[in-house]
Chain A
Amino acid sequence: MKSFYKLIITGIFTGLILLNLWVFTKGMHLSEDINKFELKTKNLKKENMELEANLYRINSLKNTSSIAANLNFTKKAVPYFLDNLRVALKK
């Protein structure tokens, strides 16, 4: 009878040790996953920021004027206003 209890207690302890090991290993994997996703999010944010800056750089007046100068589009258009229009004007 005594050896039976001993066997049960040993079994429970062994089970608990194995469970502990399983939880520990699972926890390690989980923390590795979190690290991986955190790094991924961080890199995506960085990439997003770089793309955003690049987009606005390309879209800027500064960039447009430098491209225009390179292509020799430097002459400014002067508006032409029509005098004495031969159409009915709502007065």
Chain B
Amino acid sequence: MKIRLVFFLFLSLFLAIITKLFFLQVVSPYQTNKTGGNLNKIIPERGIVYDRNMHPLALNQNKYRLFAEPKKIKDKDLLINTLSEISNIDVATIEARIDDSKDWVSITNGLSKDVKEQIEGFKFKGLGFEDEFNRYYPEASLSAHLLGFVGKNKDGDNVGYFGVEGYYNKDLSGLPGINKTDKDLLGRYIFIGNQKKIEAENGRNLVLTIDKSVQEIAKEKLLDGLDRYKAKDGCVIIANPKNMEILAMVCLPDYDLEKYYEFSEDFFINNAISLVYEPGSTFKPLIMAAALEEKKVKPQDTYNEKGSIKIGEYTIKTWNNKYEGRISITRILEKSSNTGMVFVGEKLGNKNLLNYLRKYGLDALTGIDLQGEAKTFLKSNNQWYPIDYATATFGQGIAITPIQMITAFSSLINGGELIRPHVVKKIIIDGKEKNITKNVIRKTISVKTSEAIKKMLYSTVENGEYKWAKPEGYKIGGKTGTAQIPIAGKYEATKTIASFIGFAPVNDPKFIALVILREPKTSIYGSETAAPIFFDIAKELFVYYNIGPE
């Protein structure tokens, strides 16, 4: 009898244990997961992005997600009204988010510490906060297009989109860790249980080639220029032509990086690398340098500019339809003569022209380390007609990106090296620095030709058709460009892309800058819009880099 009693006692105890286990593992697994046998993902910190002088452009900031457990809320109306007042979210939005049928709902995220403390002060039941990392930009949208932003993917994980954040997403995001621990009901560790922790590997820090002071100068001058010339949009790229480190890259209009979700996708496109445009006359020095390199022309040769040229059914004129008779080859660049360039193109020959377009890298991506570079194509050799060869010599009928333009142009003034442009100078991995060095793709022209074209471009600025307010005593080289925009197969006379590409000092270039304005209204010409912006920037850069007059 006694043995039976003990047997039934044990049996009932085992049944109680089995029932409890069934409840914990099958009926309410959520509660079980929350307290014991936790497998937590340790979120790594995203890498910091610095400018070349180690001033941060993007870093992490602690923010808070506000969540609610609707079933525990007592006075819902009071809670909704208070939250709406503090967080500036509509009452209707909060009301819709607090779904009574759910155990847990997220109300909003990105709350600052101050707001969190304000809400906590009301001691509402059923409300809680979760930590989260948000990107913080001390210089606001100074480098919006260049940096890109951090958004969420469909699984709710942080992902970098566009610019540096997109291109270096894997480096910046790091690797998550795992924390597998057994905890009791109060969330305390149970030492006899499983303990396993693999630390997260934080993201790598990036040091950019960008100088935030140069970026600030470029943005300020571009903003001023867009306003002055009533242009639709614009871009400025400033680089060191000797190693193609990008010093500044600004496109306007831009967007607020922290509130990227309030802007349409069009704002995220970085026109400096994604705009495919006809470069116009800024393209002429590329063809001129090719002809000099192939010894088809010399700077002191002459050309008889008699009048317009007929090619098939097309007539090619100079921009002002004025012709000077016998002029030097240098003068062709100075007065930006389209007919003169057709002459140079004929001397160079069609086969050579196509070879040089490829040598300048105009049929391939530049490979800049930014997400979103547009690919351009050159027509295959058998698709080129005589008019195409003629118009290509003065930069019409050929489409490239601004980054391709500045990369190819840099090779003209750096001794003939086509260098891959880059915006990241160093990657810091666990305190060790990995430097990203100059990457020469190929030689385009010789040092001798480079020196000759630099002199011609200096002469173009000095003796061009337009007199600019240049900083006195400095030797600056450059070329203007005004390209009509093709709309539905026709060129629109009043809509142009005005540009200027220049460098200084001529003898030993410290910087090269490309300024592009789309559809300026006060004047359609690059000489009257983009060029003054370039000279404004150059003036500031001379002071910033401590370059004295020659």
Contacts and interface: CB of A to CB of B under 8 A. Distances in A.
Contacts of B212: 61
Interface stretch (A5-13, A45-53, A67-75): A45-53
B59 interface: yes
B501 to A, nearest CB: 25
B138 A50 contact: no
B190 A31 contact: yes
Contacts of B56: 56
B183 to A, nearest CB: 8
A57 interface: yes
Interface string B129-140: 001000010111
B134 to A, nearest CB: 10
B473 interface: yes
A18 B281 CA distance: 93
A84 interface: no
A61 B216 contact: yes
Tell me the dominant secondary structure on chain A's binding face: helix
B138 A60 contact: yes
A4 interface: no
Contact of A50 (B55, B113, B213, B549): B113
B437 interface: no
A49 B138 contact: no
B548 interface: yes
Interface in B520-549: 542-543, 548-549
B59 to A, nearest CB: 7
Contact of B61 (A28, A49, A59): A49
Contacts of A52: 59
Interface of A: 27-28, 30-32, 34-35, 42, 46, 49-50, 52-53, 56-57, 59-62, 79, 81
21 contacts: A30-B191, A31-B189, A31-B190, A31-B191, A32-B188, A35-B188, A46-B62, A49-B60, A49-B61, A50-B62, A52-B59, A53-B138, A56-B55, A56-B59, A56-B138, A57-B138, A61-B213, A61-B216, A62-B142, A81-B548, A81-B549
